[in-house]
Structure 1
Amino acid sequence: MTLLVLAKERFDDLTEVEEKLFSEIQKTGVAVFHEKWENIDPSTADLPELRAECVAWLLTDRKAGELITHRGATVKGARLTGKLDASFARFPWQFGLIRCHLLRTIILLDASLGVLSLSGSRITLLIGDRMQISGGLFLDDGFAAHGELRLLGASIGECMQCSGAVFCNEGDHALTGDGMHIAGNLYFDSDFVAIGEVRLLRSSIGGDLICSDGVLINEEGTALNLEGISVVGVVFLRELLVAGRIVADVAKLDKGLELKNNSWRSGGFLSLGGTVVGGLCDTKDGWPAKGNLCVNGFTYEAIHDEATKNVAERLAWLDLQPDDEYRPQPYEQLAAVYARNGFGSQARKVLIAKNDKLLWFYRHRSPLKRRKTYMAEFLKAQGDERIDAAERLLPDRFKAETDRLPKHNWGRHFWHWFLGKCVGYGYRPQRLLYIALGMVAVGWLLFGWGGGQGAMVPALAGAQECPRFQPLVYSLDTFLPLVDLEQKSRWVPDSRVAWSVGSLLGGYQVFHILMGWFLTTMGVAALIDRLKR
């Protein structure tokens, strides 16, 4: 029995085009209905029509499947009318609709196919939840979908090729692939266009995710959602035009993330909160504008050799985050990477910048200053902007915002500022040595001057033996706690006359001793802190 005979038993009114379909599929596995199918636009070309249920029957009928060879079933250059429902099909060979125009939905729920190729075709809606494809999925070469592509929980045994495709479902999901498994690479490149959200929540990719040389548009929402995705290879986000959000929170990118040469429209936002990557390779123009980046919780093992390791440029990158709350983790992560790679000096600069950022919040984001700022914005605003500004002053909303800020008081503010100036927040303890040497030098000059004026006298009047007064040793002896160089115990300023040189030196000596105790204590604390780190 031939496939055509079997089809006539199933369909009473086969057209000439449909008869050709069954004959050619059994002979060669390919049915061509347009001589120039390689160069046509299926949505406008004059294509012969055949019923979609005839194609679906090839995939779902057991007897028909026995008559189809390993070449599979591929249709080129046809217009399919009606719904193509091949749910639960078991077709181990290639199934292709190349340069075809499908007027209604393709349904492949729980279907099992060898290869699925829709290259160059125009479709409206594809529903392929839990579809199993042992080979590759090809939605490339000018493929266009003007509706949702839904592939929830689908499994692709090799690559998923979407190069040069157009996914258009404005304001909604263009591709929904939650929980997909792709064993090979996933390609969104070569002038790929997505209008609507491309969503791959909690999906896994065994190769690379290449998203480059394309357009992602969903201005009022998320353009690319990679939340929770797991990628064995590298995620490439390069040479993209982005209008909307790219969300890749809590993702796991084993080999790395590359961001280069992207163009971000106004409002374009990138979120990498909680994401773990093997390595980071980026350029300055790969990231969005100030206020539109979230890297809180973003961790990476190394910075690629092609990316900048300049501290100033890296700190400028971290400064792209919004100033709505204090986020120390990104600074600590960058410092850890520097330290692991032997760049201790750069690591300390980053940690100092982290504390400088905290000091900035103390200065500019105290609740009082924030309330004054919001009030000024409210008074200047007009229309709907005035309403939005008023809402920011509502007690509950204002409290929720200020609760995210570092707790502010002037004592803590001053102490943090003082530590920054004095010891670089503990990361530049050598400043204590410079201050101490300066104090000793000042003491040397003042006590030496006082000795020359006769204002330094023996501590014990009438003592038979008194060592010679030495200003430098005296300055050291009075400055260093718990040290006796037999100068401060033998010589004292002559303070018997008020406002004399001796009385002024006596006042300075008290300050000199107190500074010695303070700086020594700070030095010991800094040393202990360094040993802990």
Structure 2
Amino acid sequence: MRAFGRSLSDFGSLFELEKQLLAACQKGDVAQGDVECPEHATSQNKVRAGFIRFLLLGAEDGIAIHENGIQLGKAFIVGALDLRSATVAYAFTLRSCTLTRITAFSGAQFKQTVSLYGSQLKGLKAYGMSVRGDFIAKKIHTTHSVNISAVSVYGNVSFSGAQLKTGSTISLSGTDAVIKGGFFLADGFTADGLVKVVGAEVGGQFNCRAGTFLNEEVALDATSIKAGRGVFLQGGFKSYSEILFIAASVNGQISAKDATLSCKHGVTLTADRLRLNGNIYFDKGFTSEGRVSLCGAVVEGQLNCSGAVFTGSEQALLANNLHLTGVANLGGGFSAKGTVSFNGARFESDLKFTGAVRIGKLLAVRACIKGALNMVDIKNRINKVSLAGTYAAVLNDDAASWGNHLVLNGFVYDFIDVLNTMTVNERVNWLKKQYVRSSKNNEKMKDESPAFVPQPWQQLKTVLESMGRAEDAREIGIEYERHRSKCGQIGLAPQSWNIVSKIINRIVATDLARSIRHFDWLRLSPYFVTALVFGRMVFHHRFLLVCSESRGCIRPQRSSDISESGLYVVPTPC
């Protein structure tokens, strides 16, 4: 005895389009109505969901299904298409159909491709579904959420052009999905709720080109996603809240050319602890109204932000502890209203700001740049820069790119690029722009008085000497002493001294230190003469040679032993 719906006789008289479908599936043809996604059922377009299920499960003896499978278009499907836990051996296509009830594919096993192209749905539940071909949901429209979590698809999954106007918290859930092909949310894809693909494994590309993500809390959550052939957020991609790629693993590029990221909460993209074997492109048309975070990311490739615009007023690009093997290019029209932070970052190649338009603040504390630090042709000089404790193999800069309020203490470099060499005066002015910070927090650099920090002066002098520019190094040394004196670091006297003594000490100490450092013998001669005269006076007036008792001499014991001149008189031996 068969279950109901497994025999043709269970359906009684067939509707006109059902008759066409029965004939078409035996011939490998398409059965379809007259109007795409009909709004109302008629005798010419109506098909019962149970009848479709009957055919998908193999119909009955005497009805042979063609290898092209079941192909139905422009139909109004009555009832719920329920294929939960079913095994379907044939390809299945619903094109531009209207489904009036929720579609249930949870646990179903499809041996071939499934297509819902251009159809209107009341939601899709396909948790744990298995498809040994492609799963195509291009240009579908749905007013309820779509759940494809934990699916296993041997081909591509495509929602390109789909309109998910669900009005719910989650529009599309693909958590822990395993997709051996590509995952496409592109070419006009729109979702008004969260798109959640946490932990998904995608063998091909994760492509959201020209997609629109409207949710105001989190637009796209791709935490821990694995993508085998890159991530594409380009070609007019738009998001209206935060995008998460935390701890994602991507083989291939991440491209966000011509993307627009906005967020009311100030954070547009978070990709902390990202592992990427490829390049990052935030260039040519990329715009972010909030912070982009790459903290702790490991990128075996380049970071290209040329032409990118970051309009957030607080933090623009936060890449602390980033490890980048290729070139970091933040030039060529790059603009950031807020802070660009590379604290603790490690660059195996160059860090370039050549041709940048604007950077609100640059922080690169304890960073390591094994290539060149390029600060050339920046249109609007960077007024706040911290390079404390940073190493760069080569410094390539110009005077016009450096603004005021620099923190250079501990900044070490091996070589200065000879093609863009600043003059000694420009280098001196650069060093004089150093300011102290009132807070230990690197994010808060407060202007105070000009700071005297000897290390940057000594570093520059040492590098110039190693490059054979001894005269320039000597000039830097002279200016170092002048600035040191100006900052009150020469001739410091004890607090107990009176003001006159302090002034005299300062003048003498400053002049003497400068003369000694630069071997100015003419200026040193008065000090030698003074020291000689003073030493002679001490020898004659404060020192007494007294014979020891072994030589028969005794010390004076009476006041009569002292002459009127104040000198000791050696008494006659007893």
TM-score of the superposed pair, with normalisation by structure 2: 0.60
SS in 2 for 1:343: strand
Q: Counterpart of 2:542? A: none
- Confirm or deny: 8 A CA contact 2:283 2:304 kept in the other structure: no
Which string of whole-angstrom CA distances, capped at 9 and with x for unpartnered residues, describes residues 373-428 of structure 1? xxxxxxxxxxxxxxxxxxxxxxxxxxxxxxxx569999xx9999655x84289799
Q: Which whole-Å CA distance do the structure 1 matches of 2:281 and 2:348 have between them? A: 17
Identity of aligned residues (%): 18
Q: Counterpart of 1:91? A: 88
Q: CA deviation at 1:43?
A: 4.0
Q: Counterpart of 1:235? A: 231
Q: Which whole-Å CA distance do the structure 1 matches of 2:152 and 2:479 have between them? A: 76
Query: Which of 438, 463, 467 is matched with 1:430 structurally?
Result: 463
Q: Counterpart of 1:138? A: 136
SS in 2 for 1:253: strand
Q: 1:479 to 1:414 in 2, by over 3 A?
A: farther
- Confirm or deny: 8 A CA contact 1:200 1:226 kept in the other structure: yes
SS in 1 for 2:181: coil
Q: 1:414 to 1:161 in 2, by over 3 A?
A: same
Q: Which whole-Å CA distance do the structure 1 matches of 2:336 and 2:150 have between them? A: 36
- Confirm or deny: 8 A CA contact 2:186 2:210 kept in the other structure: yes
Higher deviation after alignment, 92-101 or 350-359: 350-359
CA-atom RMSD in angstroms: 4.7
Q: CA deviation at 1:66?
A: 7.9
Q: Counterpart of 1:162? A: 159
Alignment of 1:61-210 (within 5 A): 63=60, 67-113=64-110, 114-140=112-138, 142-210=139-207
SS in 2 for 1:218: coil
SS in 2 for 1:344: strand
- Confirm or deny: 8 A CA contact 1:248 1:271 kept in the other structure: yes
- Confirm or deny: 8 A CA contact 1:145 1:166 kept in the other structure: yes
- Confirm or deny: 8 A CA contact 1:133 1:157 kept in the other structure: yes
Task: Answer yes or no: is 1:8 the counterpart of 2:23.
Answer: no
Q: 1:84 to 1:281 in 2, by over 3 A?
A: same
Q: 1:305 to 1:29 in 2, by over 3 A?
A: same
Q: Counterpart of 2:343? A: 328
SS in 2 for 1:26: helix
- Confirm or deny: 8 A CA contact 1:190 1:212 kept in the other structure: yes
Q: CA deviation at 1:338?
A: 2.1
Q: Which whole-Å CA distance do the structure 2 matches of 1:208 and 1:255 have between them? A: 9
Q: Which whole-Å CA distance do the structure 2 matches of 1:443 and 1:417 have between them? A: 14
Letter in 2 for 1:248: F
Point out the structure with the larger helix share.
1
Q: Which whole-Å CA distance do the structure 2 matches of 1:443 and 1:427 have between them? A: 14
Which string of whole-angstrom CA distances, capped at 9 and with x for unpartnered residues, describes residues 173-219 of structure 1? 11100011222222222222121111111111111122122321002
Q: 1:223 to 1:185 in 2, by over 3 A?
A: same
Q: Which whole-Å CA distance do the structure 1 matches of 2:523 and 2:62 have between them? A: 106
Q: Which whole-Å CA distance do the structure 2 matches of 1:357 and 1:67 have between them? A: 80
- Confirm or deny: 8 A CA contact 1:193 1:216 kept in the other structure: yes
Q: CA deviation at 1:170?
A: 2.5
Alignment of 1:433-452 (within 5 A): 437-439=475-477
SS in 2 for 1:55: helix
Letter in 2 for 1:26: Q
Q: Counterpart of 1:338? A: 350
Unaligned runs of 5+ in 1: 367-404, 445-473, 499-533
Alignment of 1:333-412 (within 5 A): 333=346, 335-338=347-350, 343-346=371-374, 353-355=386-388, 363=437, 405=441
Letter in 2 for 1:274: R
Flag the structure with larger Rg.
2
Q: Which whole-Å CA distance do the structure 2 matches of 1:416 and 1:299 have between them? A: 38
Q: Counterpart of 1:301? A: 300
- Confirm or deny: 8 A CA contact 1:361 1:406 kept in the other structure: no
Q: 1:443 to 1:60 in 2, by over 3 A?
A: closer
Q: Counterpart of 1:269? A: 268
Q: 1:435 to 1:199 in 2, by over 3 A?
A: same
Letter in 2 for 1:214: G
- Confirm or deny: 8 A CA contact 2:516 2:524 kept in the other structure: no
Q: Which whole-Å CA distance do the structure 2 matches of 1:361 and 1:75 have between them? A: 74
Query: Which of 507, 517, 532 is matched with 1:479 structurally?
Result: 517
Q: 1:475 to 1:439 in 2, by over 3 A?
A: farther
Q: 1:423 to 1:84 in 2, by over 3 A?
A: same
Which string of whole-angstrom CA distances, capped at 9 and with x for unpartnered residues, describes residues 15-41 of structure 1? 444344323322325322x14x5xx34
Q: CA deviation at 1:488?
A: 12
Q: 1:341 to 1:105 in 2, by over 3 A?
A: same
Q: CA deviation at 1:161?
A: 2.2
Q: Which whole-Å CA distance do the structure 1 matches of 2:302 and 2:19 have between them? A: 61
- Confirm or deny: 8 A CA contact 2:77 2:100 kept in the other structure: yes
Q: Counterpart of 1:259? A: 256
Q: Counterpart of 2:57? A: 60
Q: Which whole-Å CA distance do the structure 1 matches of 2:287 and 2:275 have between them? A: 18
